[in-house]
Amino acid sequence: MRSATFITLLVFIYCAEAFVHIARHNYTEEDCQNKTGNPCVYPDMCWECSEPVLSMGYIRTKVYYFNNLTKKCDELTGEASYCNVFHSEDDCEFFCGIYDPDKDDSESRGN
């Protein structure tokens, strides 16, 4: 019985430390550019990833990104391999437009 309690306590501590690490994570430019290698965490990636620098390769489609200054989704031409780039304006607004870390919590809930 003691070993089960000890193991449960260790798992709890590990999960708590992992949560704190994730909550304090500051994303680097490399994290933002590697959409296919690592999962993008939303809405954090919208606010921490800057305006994407898109390559002018063969893939040139209309994409949208979340502009941190205007707090709106803006249009670009390029490819969507960046965490702050979306295929449609609706996707951009869904993942990024519903959360504003600068707003008071009660204000964001409509109270």
Tally of domains within the chain: 1
Domain span at residue 41 reads 2-108
The answer to whether residue 65 scores a pLDDT higher than 80 is yes
Least confident of 5-14, 62-71, 80-89: 5-14
User: Which pLDDT value is given to residue 92?
Assistant: 92
* Of 93, 69, 72, 92, nearest in space to 82 by CA: 92
Q: Render pLDDT for 17-64 as a digit per residue (tens, 0 to 9).
A: 544 444 445 556 667 776 656 678 888 888 888 888 766 667 678 889
Q: 3-class secondary structure for 35-92?
A: CCCCCCCCCHHHHHCCCCCCCCCCCCEEEEEEECCCCEEEEEEECCCCCCEECCHHHH
pTM for the model stands at 0.58
Question: Could you tell me the CATH number of the domain that includes residue 104?
Answer: 4.10.410.10
